[in-house]
Amino acid sequence: MNITLELANEVIAAVQWRAQYEGIAVACAVVDTGGNLVAFGRMDGANLITIDTAIGKAFTAISIGADTVGLSAAIQPGAPLFGTGLTLAGSRSFVPYAGGLLLRSGDEVIGALGVSGAASSEVDHEIGAPSAQLP
């Protein structure tokens, strides 16, 4: 099963509601299980870098089959993925920072969410996390 546009828009609305409540302007992206963009929204005031970063975090999560929250540790010198880094390449950007989350309906992965714009990537992850489990 693949995420629908309707559901993707609901996810983004919920994430943006939380961001607004925290006083943060974020960009949110939802990709389907093929890694292709379904919906995207950038709140007024979010920096330009959040565009590729949010889309890339969603793409990265679905590409590795896991949330991106552990990638920062895995790319440090001596760690297994050292040599992997940020690759800005439009909608296929690889972004090894927290804020990319798998979206699940029950146990099934149906897409991924990317959030960018908070003061740290960990906060991006926290703002997105409550929306990762769908009905």
Among 2, 20, 47, 133, indicate the residue that binds a copy of itself (CB under 8 A).
47
Binding mask 27-46 for a copy of itself (x = CB under 8 A): -------xx-----------
Residue 91, number of CB atoms within 10 A of its CB = 15
CB of 87 vs a copy of itself, minimal distance in Å? 6
Among 21, 23, 44, 77, indicate the residue that binds a copy of itself (CB under 8 A).
77
Cα-flanking dihedrals φ and ψ of residue 104, to 5°?
Answer: -120, 140
Report DSSP letters for 32-76, one per residue: -TTS-EEEEEE-TT--THHHHHHHHHHHHHHHHTS-GGGHHHHTS
| 93 vs 121: CA distance, rounded Å | 16
Q: Toward a copy of itself, which CB reaches closer, 15 or 123?
A: 123
**Would you call 82 exposed, middle or buried from its count of C-beta atoms within 10 A (0-12, 13-18, 19+)?**
exposed
CB of 5 vs a copy of itself, minimal distance in Å? 21
Tokens of 50: 């959040």
Residue list 95-124, contact with a copy of itself (CB under 8 A): 96-97, 120-121
CB of 57 vs a copy of itself, minimal distance in Å? 13
Chain residues in the site for a copy of itself (CB under 8 A) = 34-35, 47-49, 62-65, 71-72, 75-78, 80-89, 92, 94, 96-97, 120-121
